């Protein structure tokens, strides 16, 4: 793995793709572990367009050792150093017939344990019984997300589209995107690879057009201590 290249891409572009973090056999074991879980939990959401598991690492605790392999932990330590821990995890399964898409946005909120008003933290929201707030900008700038791909993903089945370098523009509203200056890039990833991104990177996802499934494990990391009175909703070392 070319650590220097990936570090440069994360700093300058706001994302990088690292292939072959998991072997084909490891991907199959992860998929089997997910398919065997009891889907009656309130953390599970299923529609015709999407199956999702919120607080994935908590809802399916037996999956953690399959996700946090030595190869993944070494990769993240080399890229970001010590002190980071997982603060949010979601599993997405987008069927081949899905019309589900995501519009251009930044990930501006973090999941916390309670709804409370605290100076420096934006208005709280509640979605699916989970509380979220917009933290101070420096926390978002230091956080990172990994997206573990369990299927080959490209433009046809909803690979993330990103605007390279947009994470450097701080809060960047979709209505202010200057399409004369921006260049959209599709983050294609093979099964077993990961996409790493900064939460302030502007990103979106198209509907599926090639009838291929897309399964992704999304995990957010931070090393921040939050203000007195709130804590991370999901904190896994």
Q: Is residue 98 part of a domain?
A: yes
Using 50, 70 and 90 to split pLDDT, how confident is the model at 202? very high
CATH of the domain at 192: 2.60.120.620
Pairing between strand 160-162 and 203-205?
antiparallel
Q: Is residue 235 part of a domain?
A: no
User: Residue 214 is part of which domain span?
Assistant: 3-222
Q: Which two tokens stand for residue 206?
A: 């198209």
Of 216, 198, 100, which is closest to residue 152 (Cα–Cα)?
A: 216
Q: Is residue 227 part of a domain?
A: no
Q: Is residue 206 part of a domain?
A: yes
Q: Is residue 231 part of a domain?
A: no
pLDDT at 167: 98
Burial 102-116 (b: 16+ CB within 10 A, else e): eebebbbbbbbeeee
Q: Is the pLDDT of residue 49 over 70?
A: no
Average pLDDT over residues 138-150: 98
Cα–Cα distances in angstroms (integers) from residue 175 to residues 103, 123, 141, 144, 221, in the given order: 11, 21, 21, 24, 28
Chain segment 147-183, per-residue pLDDT in tens: 999 999 999 998 999 999 999 999 999 999 999 999 9
Average pLDDT over residues 12-18: 98
Burial 202-223 (b: 16+ CB within 10 A, else e): bbbbbebeeebbbbbbbbbbbe
Q: Is residue 66 part of a domain?
A: yes
Q: Is the pLDDT of residue 73 over 90?
A: yes
Q: Is residue 228 part of a domain?
A: no
CB 196 within 8 A of CB 10: yes
- Cα Rg for the chain, rounded, in angstroms? 17
- Taking the whole predicted model, whether its pTM rises above 0.75 is answered as yes
Using 50, 70 and 90 to split pLDDT, how confident is the model at 130? confident
Q: Is residue 230 part of a domain?
A: no
> Higher model confidence: residue 224 or residue 117?
224
Query: Number of folded domains in the chain?
Result: 1
């Amino acid at each position: 793995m070319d650590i220097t290249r990936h570090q440069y891409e994360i700093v300058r572009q706001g994302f990088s793709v690292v292939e072959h973090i998991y072997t084909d056999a490891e991907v199959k074991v992860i998929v089997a572990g997910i398919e065997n879980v009891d889907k009656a939990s309130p953390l599970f959401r299923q529609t015709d367009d999407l199956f999702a598991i919120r607080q994935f690492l908590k809802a399916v605790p037996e999956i953690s050792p399959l996700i946090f392999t030595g190869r993944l932990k070494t990769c993240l330590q080399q890229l970001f150093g010590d002190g980071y821990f997982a603060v949010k995890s979601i599993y997405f399964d987008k069927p081949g017939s899905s019309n589900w898409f995501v519009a251009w946005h930044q990930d501006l909120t973090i999941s916390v344990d309670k709804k409370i008003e605290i100076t420096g933290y934006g208005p709280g929201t509640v979605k699916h019984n989970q509380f979220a707030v917009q933290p101070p900008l420096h926390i978002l700038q230091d956080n990172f997300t990994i997206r573990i791909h369990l299927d080959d993903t490209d433009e046809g089945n909803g690979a993330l589209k990103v605007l390279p370098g947009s994470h450097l523009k701080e809060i960047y509203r979709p209505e202010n995107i200057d399409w004369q200056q921006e260049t959209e890039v599709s983050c294609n990833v093979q099964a077993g690879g990961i996409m790493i991104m900064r939460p302030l990177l502007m990103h979106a996802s198209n509907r599926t057009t090639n009838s291929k499934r897309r399964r992704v494990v999304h995990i957010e990391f931070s090393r921040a201590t939050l203000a007195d009175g709130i804590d991370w909703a999901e904190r896994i070392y």
